[in-house]
Structure 1
Amino acid sequence: MTSTLTMSTALAAEHRARLMRLAREVSFEAGTRLFEEGRRADRFWIVRTGTVALDLHVPGRRAAVVETLGRGELVGWSWHFAPYQWQLGAEAMSPVRAYEFDAGAVRALCEEHPEFGRAIALWVGHVLAHRLHAARTRLLDLYAPYGSGGQP
């Protein structure tokens, strides 16, 4: 399950241009951990190519992959909300090329330009709501007696 709200569909051209002025191109090899749950969230990415798996620590079990992200999708939302700690983990499932953003610089730009800040907040909020639903559904599929939608 992937989010349908990419940066291109979520942000007006002027807001995309403002955000992209802060972008830095990066790449990750397959198997690279982008971030770990509970650690400091000081950056985020928009995938250009490849796939990134989001996972959730489940005590006594292997981490559960809750969503896989691809081209144009936002990787990371925890940078936008205090205390700025990752709520999930992320790993490159294939070679990934992405745009990386410094979270502090983007938050400062949001403060400086309220309309831009509102657009970013709406985008990140939508992504957050989608990820919460995806995580809930995936965990129910993995661990609930009847999955996320089956009947007894």
Structure 2
Amino acid sequence: MTSTTTLGAALPAEHRERLMRVAHEVSFDMGARLFEEGRHADRFWIIKTGTVALDLHVPGRRAALIESLGHGELVGWSWHFSPYVWQLGAETMSPVRAWEFDAATVRRMCEEDPEFGRAVAIWVGRVVAHRLHSSRIRLLDLYAPYGSGSR
């Protein structure tokens, strides 16, 4: 992912510090499913160590790997947009340590402080735009007759 979408580069220091005050550390073993496409999105994570794969359900086939995420990257954006339903699935590809955030708490913080909320919305928006582009390229590579043409 680009440096403008990782937490360290995306949020100004004061907003990053405020967000981190509501984080708690979690660990996942390799192969843990963090969330499933279509289920309720009530939390999100920022990766400290390890790798998380994002996947997309493809009827009649195995899930398509969309992108791999690592240190400093946001896992999950669906928590930010109503109806708060995961648009992708996620599974750990290695043991993962991460900061976990309660979505309702962060949304409330965004409502209470419009400057903070704007910064978070811009960050999440950049992540969504990047993931949409990655999904498009990956699906074209997998299923289009001539791939995405990006190689």
Q: What is the TM-score with the length of structure 1 in the denominator?
A: 0.97
Aligned residues: 150
Corresponding residue number in structure 1 for 2:139: 139
Cα deviations by residue, 1:37-71 (Å, 9 ceiling, x for unpaired): 00000000000000000000001100001000000
Q: Alpha carbon RMSD of aligned pairs, Å?
A: 1.1
Query: Structure 1: where are the runs of 5+ without partners?
Result: none
How far apart in 2 are the matches of 1:139 and 1:13? 36
Corresponding residue for residue 26 of structure 1: 26
Cα separation, 2, equivalents of 1:137 and 1:58: 15
Residue 7 of structure 1: CA displacement? 0.4
Give 2:114's aligned amino acid. Answer: P
User: Is the aligned partner of 1:100 residue 2:117?
Assistant: no
Matches within 5 A, 1:114-125: 114-125=114-125
Alignment correspondent of 1:13: 13
* Offset of residue 3 of structure 1: 3.8
Length-normalised TM-score, structure 2: 0.97
Q: How does 1:43-82 map to 2 (within 5 A)?
A: 43-82=43-82
**Partner SS for 1:119:** helix
| Percentage identity across paired residues of the two chains | 74
- CA shift for structure 1 position 134: 0.1
Post-superposition shift, 1:135? 0.4
Question: Is the partner of 1:55 in helix, strand or coil?
Answer: strand
Is 1:11–1:119's contact at 8 Å kept on the other side of the alignment?
Answer: yes
Of stretches 2-11 and 36-45 in structure 1, the one that deviates more from structure 2 is 2-11
Query: 3-state DSSP class of the match of 2:22?
Result: coil
What 5-or-longer segments of structure 2 have no aligned partner?
none
Separation in structure 2 between the aligned mates of residue 120 and residue 60 of structure 1, nearest angstrom: 37
